[in-house]
Structure 1
Amino acid sequence: MSDAPEPAVVGRGLAVSGPWGPVYGPVDLDIDAGGVTVLVCPAGTGRTALLMTLAGRMRPQRGTLSVFGVSDPRRIFRLSAIAGIDELDQVAESVTVRDAVTEQLRWNAPWYRFVRRAGAADLRELCAPVFGDLPLPPLHEYVEELSELDRLLLRIALANTARPPLLVVGNLDYVTSDRNRELLLQRLIELGRTQTVVTTTVNGVDTDGVRAQIVVDNTSRADLVSGQKGE
């Protein structure tokens, strides 16, 4: 019997192009199930599109993708949550934490069920699994007044209510404080005990507990232009 870890994500030759040329690719990926895997690649539309592909929010134009043995993007969608991608889950800064939590609870509820405005118990139930020992954001606080760390943790909590097998988190570099970025990683590592967590950064991380770091080529404009010249 093999002791090799079960693969969560297997991608071969993944690529997406837009009206102005390649967006990313080709990309090959092997991500083991469980823990935190950090993809090291430049920020930009290519990286964003790749993460959306891994979470079933974008269909690759070329190549093959399997997530927990599933290849249909609609089924991958149901197996994943994605947070920290402004095109998908940005929370309006002019709303309060109470408003954001209430909206998510109403979105999750059946259409016929009345959902009252969120209270302290709702905040704890939704956010505590992500925040852990860190203080929860006050219900009355406006999202724009939260720290970078709390803002991203809130987005993760809102996206991850169903706790699917795969959690994709857009960008560690969104949190500019080294200390807060380390706290974020520790929270992702904790979530990785029961989920497979995939996230990204430009420079890589130096944190015990991260399962793997994978350098991903062909996600930046410079890589893609260089590759085209070499063909």
Structure 2
Amino acid sequence: MDSARGAAVAAEGFGLKGPRGWAFRSVDIDAAPGALVAIEGPSGSGRTSLLLALTGRMRPTEGRAVVAGLELPRRMAAVRRISALGPVAGVSDLDPALTVAEHLRERALLQRRFDGSLRALLRPRAERSADARERIEKALSAAGLDLAALPKRERTSVRDLERLEELRLSVALALIAEPRLLAVDDTDLKLSDADRATAWALLRSIADGGTTVLAVCSQAPGDAGVVRTTGAVRDEDEAPDAAPVADRSTTTDADAGTDAEAETATETETATEADSEENTNEEGAADALAETGRA
């Protein structure tokens, strides 16, 4: 395993609070580069919010976290640059009307536009196209997505994909950026036992290749490192050192993310990243566009 390129993830007393209370709290993580970490918990326990906070997409409220030597929340923009999101509802959704080829081509173009250096942008068109094809082929291979096996090959619409194929496509799109940290939400959602085992084998192979993987699930496999979320604290007057309580019956993961999004989703760092409070909405909008491919 080439773990040198993976991102180590460490957190202590990590928490995020929104208007309705704590999305998650008192989370501790110690994951080596190239690890497979399962974020396990019931729906509504703050799993997705934790995933987004650890990848620099949401601003934490308390505690400390370090990703690849980059401290959160001070280095959120830098963490976003080395991490990529697989499927996350409401953040990196696939467009059901687009084909697999259209998604791949769009992501490759966005990768070159938002993450490429000026020198790379000035390369001859044929060279840029060859690089994009190489990135796509490498990502498809790592995600185990065989275009020839799809009903209409690369012209297959997302709406016609099986759940496991859709997961593979989302992972492939994320891997085009060659991230050091890959985040996947709802890994085992709507999968049969056989497909669930296949999905975990896929993520395990990516981790074995050196990329650190964070995967949200309802039940973690036995060979993964596990971080458990137990729920959010709704009481605004709860003492700061109170332990997390059972998950909220009326608030889902998406709600927890919405609670904090008004304060966190569009916040980004200044060019020097020396002062995390001097964030701009413009940079956050650009990050969101690069993540989803659509405004």
Q: 1:36 to 1:124 in 2, by over 3 A?
A: same
Gaps spanning 5+ residues in structure 1: where?
A: 1-5
How many pairs does the alignment contain?
217
Q: CA deviation at 1:152?
A: 0.9
- Who is 1:36 aligned against? 36
SS of match in other structure, 2:25: strand
Deviation string, structure 1 residues 57-105 (Cα, Å, up to 9, x no partner): 1110111110122111111111211211112110111111121112112
Question: Which amino acid in the other structure matches residue 109 of structure 2?
Answer: R
- Greater alpha carbon shift after TM alignment, 52-61 vs 160-169: 160-169
Q: CA deviation at 1:190?
A: 0.9
- The correspondence for 2:228, drawn from 215, 219, 228, is 215
Instruction: Check whether the contact 1:34–1:196 (CA below 8 A) recurs between aligned residues.
Output: yes
- Who is 1:3 aligned against? none
- Who is 1:167 aligned against? 182
Once superposed, which parts of structure 1, at least 4 consecutive aligned residues long, lie more than 3 Å away?
110-116, 119-126, 132-137, 216-221, 223-227
- The TM-score with structure 2 as length reference comes to 0.64
- The correspondence for 2:158, drawn from 126, 138, 143, is 143
Deviation string, structure 1 residues 161-182 (Cα, Å, up to 9, x no partner): 1222211111222242111111
- Greater alpha carbon shift after TM alignment, 125-134 vs 27-36: 125-134
Alignment partner of 1:92 is 2:92: no
CA RMSD of aligned residues (A): 3.1
SS of match in other structure, 2:188: helix
Question: Which amino acid in the other structure matches residue 16 of structure 2?
Answer: V
Question: Which amino acid in the other structure matches residue 11 of structure 1?
Answer: A
- Greater alpha carbon shift after TM alignment, 7-16 vs 150-159: 7-16
Alignment partner of 1:77 is 2:80: yes
Instruction: Check whether the contact 2:40–2:227 (CA below 8 A) recurs between aligned residues.
Output: yes
Partner Cα separation in structure 2 for residue 219 and residue 189 of structure 1: 29
Partner Cα separation in structure 2 for residue 133 and residue 104 of structure 1: 18
Q: CA deviation at 1:121?
A: 7.7
Q: 1:151 to 1:110 in 2, by over 3 A?
A: same
- The TM-score with structure 1 as length reference comes to 0.81
- Who is 2:10 aligned against? 10
Alignment partner of 1:202 is 2:218: yes
Partner Cα separation in structure 1 for residue 113 and residue 228 of structure 2: 42
Alignment partner of 1:153 is 2:168: yes
Greater fraction strand: 1
SS of match in other structure, 1:139: helix
Q: CA deviation at 1:14?
A: 1.4
Q: CA deviation at 1:43?
A: 2.3
Partner Cα separation in structure 2 for residue 218 and residue 11 of structure 1: 18
- Who is 1:181 aligned against? 196
